[in-house]
Amino acid sequence: MMRRAIGRGRPALARALACAVVLAAEACGGTGPRPVVLGEDSCSHCRMEVSDARFATEAVTRTGRVNVFDSIDCLANYVRGAEPGSLATVWVTDFDRPGTFVDAARAGFLVGSSVQGPMGSTLAFASPTAARAAQARFGGTPKDWGALLDATTEHASGAH
């Protein structure tokens, strides 16, 4: 009788252990952004201190390492130089809501805006529609993430 009870409990125990392993892996190697600590975090590309929440960005590697950047231009240069497949997610801050991260692939951008950031004049917004709406306020050329990667160059942030 005891054997049957133990035997029946093993699949449940195995499922519980599998769930625990999955949860632990997600906690250690998550792909979401983490809060940026202004004045303490430094840019993974140019090494400047991150001091303006409106421009903070992050790239999370497949291993869960979070790389913080002080500008979209630094982030774009980093992404361009990253090994293919090494990045899990890329995050930008919605200029209209500092501290709010948006997946770069879903964001809208203004390249060459009238706002000077730490390393350039590229702004990110929650969506391409929001970027086009902000164009009247800040100028610049609306772009999506792919076009932004093609448009920005190391020269754009050559002040490192």
Query: Is residue 107 assigned to a domain?
Result: yes
Q: What percent of the chain has pLDDT over 70?
A: 76
pLDDT at 160: 41
Length of the chain: 160
**Which tens digit of pLDDT belongs to each residue from 37-51?**
999 999 889 889 999
Residues pairing with 87 in the sheet? 61
pLDDT at 119: 85
3-class DSSP state for residue 108?
strand
Note the pTM of the prediction, 2 decimals. 0.75
Query: Is residue 123 assigned to a domain?
Result: yes
Query: Is residue 128 assigned to a domain?
Result: yes
**Which tens digit of pLDDT belongs to each residue from 127-154?**
999 999 999 999 999 999 999 998 755 4
Q: Are 33 and 66 in contact (CB under 8 A)?
A: yes
3-class DSSP state for residue 85?
coil
Show the domain range for 130. 53-157
Does residue 21 surpass a pLDDT of 80?
no
Query: Is residue 1 assigned to a domain?
Result: no
Stretch 85-107: mean pLDDT, rounded? 96
Query: Is residue 79 assigned to a domain?
Result: yes
Does residue 79 surpass a pLDDT of 50?
yes
Stretch 87-116: mean pLDDT, rounded? 95
Does residue 19 surpass a pLDDT of 80?
no
Total domains present in the chain: 1
